[in-house]
Amino acid sequence: MDYKELIKEAFDAQKNSYSPYSSCKVGAALLCKDGRIYKGCNIENASFSLTNCAERTALFKAVSEGERGFEAIAVVGNNGQDELFFPCGACRQALSEFCGKDFKIIVAKCVDEYKVLTLGELLPFSFDKEVVYEKDC
Which positions lie near ligand THU, rule CB under 6 A? 19, 22, 24, 26, 42, 44, 51, 53-55, 87-88, 91
Contact (CB, 8 A) for 54 and 17: yes
Q: Which one of 44, 55, 67, 113 is the catalytic residue?
A: 55
For ligand THU, the closer of residues 7 and 26 by Cβ is 26
Give the β-pairing of 37-41 and 104-110. unpaired
For ligand THU, the closer of residues 34 and 89 by Cβ is 89
Neighbours of 4 (CB within 10 A): 14
- Report, in Å, the least distance between residue 28 CB and ligand THU: 7
Q: For residues 74 and 33, what is the distance between their CA atoms, to the nearest angstrom?
A: 15
Annotated catalytic residue 65: no
Closest CA relative to residue 108, chosen from 117, 99, 100: 117
For ligand THU, the closer of residues 9 and 44 by Cβ is 44
Residues identified as active-site: 55
